[in-house]
Amino acid sequence: MVDLKKLKRHFFRKSREFNFFLIVTPSFEELALKELKEVYSNIKNIEIIKGGIYFSADLNVISAVHNYCRIPIRLLLRLGTYICNSEKQIYKNLSQIEFENYLGNNVLNIKVYSRSSWIYNEKKLESIIRNFFIEKYKNIFSFGDNGITLFFRMNHNKLTISIDLTGDPLYKRGISKLKSQTPMRECNIAAAIKLIDNFDKYKFIIDPFCGSGTILIELYMKLKNILPKREFNYSKMPIVYFIKNTDISYQASLKNIAHIFIGLDISFKNLKIFKKNIDNLFAIDNLFAKNLIEVINANALSLPLKLGKDEFIIFSNPPFGWKLLDKNKADSLLHSFFEIMFERYGNFKFGVFYPDNKLLDSLSSDKVTFPFGGHKINFYYN
Ligand SMILES: C[S@@+](CC[C@H](N)C(=O)[O-])C[C@H]1O[C@@H](n2cnc3c(N)ncnc32)[C@H](O)[C@@H]1O
């Protein structure tokens, strides 16, 4: 059993800083850093690499990231990097780490990588590490796929050891959502929001091709600041006792928002899924004003809404030509929609997820490209 008092005095001291690595979808690193700094300003030694951000901070950053960040995928606690030129050195370095202080007596899942090092056989490296744990911690840790993941990354004979503080990806907020076809990933929606200037200015947020509503629901949850309803790895570890603000009052965290969310879709079937999702969301907290989200069964091209110029933003993931619709048909639907909108409103504000498209290239002021289910998709915005 770990002695919490002793741990507090010597190990997880208030002033002690730790090293972290935030894993992020490639191309969203800068946006994730912007979000991180907004939720926790006291971070140092920042270094961005493709797919993540290194930084150091005190332990409270852990709850801030898990409660409020939506762009990253997971947060790792880096225990250290050690030069290991032999099996003996691996043992010696591992012996210096007080694993039980970090991990309590949780089940462990060991993941090993090796690149450009004397030990290129990952199975062999894994068995060395497992043997170490079996010898030193035989009554403390057991192993299993559902355990807390410990990463051992050997690169040029340097072994970096990290703990996954998150578990299931961070953008999974624990609020169950039913999905129709090709919904956007929650982390991509959170990143897209960060790209739109003055998002709060737009009263109506409209998704004319809303399907099961992932985009509107995620936007709503992000803007409203809805806390996750799930457990993270770190909440099973002794570290949790030394982190402030793990128990933020749910209601106190909620922000007032003035947006009205409107979803349109031609498919009644998909809208039924959306409506179920809205009911799930409202069941969690009756504070949510039900009329914040309106759902309309209509063809986007019939544009059944009467809105003032500059009071809305179109935020959408229209059907595109992979499996949903023939590519030419998809492009022609998108083009007709933009034509009608321009005719009615002149220039209007939009953020649209779509594969490469010449019209969107010419209309948007910028785009960010990111991986999406084995393809690439852009977020076009103006
Ligand atoms: C890529 S899916 C949207 C996925 C959505 N973001 C989600 O979370 O489920 C595209 C949606 O556009 C809808 N759609 C296709 N043609 C349409 C049209 N002319 N007007 C409105 N919706 C249309 C489809 O029914 C489908 O639900």
Give me ligand 1 centre to Cα 26, in Å: 26
Distance 210 CA to ligand 1 centre (A): 5
- Our answer on whether the CB atom of 317 is closer than 6 Å to any ligand 1 atom is yes
DSSP 8-state secondary structure symbol assigned to residue 96: T
Give the Å distance between the CA of 212 and the centre of ligand 1: 8
* Ligand 1 atom 22, closest CA: 265
CA quadruple 62, 64, 70, 71: dihedral, nearest 10: -70
The pLDDT of residue 248: 62
| Rounded CA separation 144/377 (Å) | 36
Query: Average pLDDT, stretch 15-35?
Result: 93
Higher pLDDT residue, 188 or 32? 32
| All residues at 6 or more sequence positions from 25 whose CB lies less than 8 Å from its CB, including other chains | 51, 71, 73, 185, 187, 188, 191, 370, 371
The Å distance, Cα 297 to ligand 1 centre, comes to 11
- φ, ψ of residue 282 to 5 degrees: the values are -70, -25
Q: How much of the chain exceeds pLDDT 90, in percent?
A: 63
**Predicted local confidence at residue 278, as pLDDT:** 86
Position in ligand 1 atom list of the atom nearest CA 267: 25
What is the C-alpha separation between 215 and 183, in angstroms, rounded?
A: 8
Largest CA distance in the chain: 73
The mean of the pLDDT values for the chain is 89
Q: State the pLDDT at residue 373.
A: 78
- CA R_g for the chain: 24
pLDDT at 84: 96
Task: Please determine, for residue 48, whether its predicted confidence score (pLDDT) is greater than 60.
Answer: yes
Domain ranges of the chain: 4-164, 186-381
The pLDDT of residue 288 is 58
Beta bridge partners of 294: 262
Find out whether 202 and 349 touch, Cβ atoms under 8 Å.
Answer: yes
Lowest mean pLDDT among 121-125, 203-207, 312-316, 320-324: 320-324
- CA–CA separation, 304 vs 318, rounded Å? 17
Best-predicted range by mean pLDDT among 68-77, 180-189, 210-219, 221-230? 68-77
Q: Is the pLDDT confidence value at 284 over 60? A: yes
Give the CATH superfamily of 186-381.
Answer: Vaccinia Virus protein VP39 (3.40.50.150)
- Between 74 and 284, whose confidence is greater? 74
Q: Which atom of ligand 1 is nearest to the CA of 300?
A: 20
The pLDDT-based confidence of 7 (bands split at 50, 70, 90) is: confident
The edge-to-edge listing of strands for the beta sheet with 260-265 is 293-297, 260-265, 204-207, 312-316, 349-354, 375-381, 366-372
Q: Is residue 181 in contact with ligand 1, taking CB distance under 6 Å?
A: yes
Helix (H, G, I), strand (E, B) or coil at 317: coil
Q: 160 in ligand 1 pocket by Cβ < 6 Å?
A: no
- Is residue 207 over pLDDT 90? yes
Residue 328 parent element (H or E): helix 327-345
pLDDT at residue 24, rounded to an integer: 95
Tell how strand 18-23 and strand 44-49 pair up: unpaired
Is 103's C-beta closer than 6 angstroms to any atom of ligand 1? no
276 close to 178: Cβ distance less than 8 angstroms = yes
* Predicted local distance difference test score (pLDDT) of residue 1: 63
Q: Model confidence at 158, in pLDDT bands (50, 70, 90)?
A: very high
- Region 71-93: mean pLDDT is 96
Dihedral in degrees, nearest 10, Cα atoms 56, 60, 64, 67: 130
User: Cβ neighbours of residue 247 under 8 Å, at least 6 residues apart?
Assistant: none
In this predicted model, which residue has the larger pLDDT, 326 or 154? 154
Residue 150 is which amino acid? L
Question: Which of 171, 188, 210, 281 has most ligand 1 atoms within 8 Å of CB, for mutation?
Answer: 210
For residue range 340-359, what is the model confidence (pLDDT) as tens digits?
999 999 889 999 999 999 99
Report whether pLDDT(133) > 90. Answer: yes
How do residues 298-328 score in pLDDT, each as one tens digit? 999 998 778 888 899 999 999 987 665 688 8
Band (107; pLDDT cuts 50, 70, 90):
very high
CA dist 164 and 148 (Å) reads 7
Ligand 1 touching residue 264 (CB < 6 A):
yes
88 vs 382: CA distance, rounded Å: 58
Matching CATH number, 4-164, of 3.40.50.300, 3.30.2130.30, 3.40.50.10310, 3.90.1150.10: 3.30.2130.30
Most ligand 1 atoms within 8 A of CB, residue of 209, 218, 270 to mutate: 209
pLDDT over 90 at 197, yes or no: no
Verify whether ligand 1 is closer than 6 Å to residue 215 (CB atom).
Answer: yes
Are 314 and 349 in contact by the 8 Å Cβ rule? The answer is yes
Q: Residue 182, Cβ neighbours under 10 Å: how many? A: 18
C-alpha–C-alpha distance, residues 373 and 148, integer Å: 26
Q: Is the pLDDT of residue 203 over 60?
A: yes
Q: Whose CA is nearest to atom 5 of ligand 1?
A: 211
Q: Residue 85's pLDDT is what?
A: 95
Choose among 188, 121, 120, 144: nearest CA to 367. Answer: 188
CB of 332 sitting under 6 A from ligand 1: no
- Would you mind telling me the total number of residues written for the chain in this entry? 382
- Give the model confidence (pLDDT) of 226-278 as tens digits: 888 889 999 999 999 888 865 566 666 778 888 899 999 999 999 999 998 88
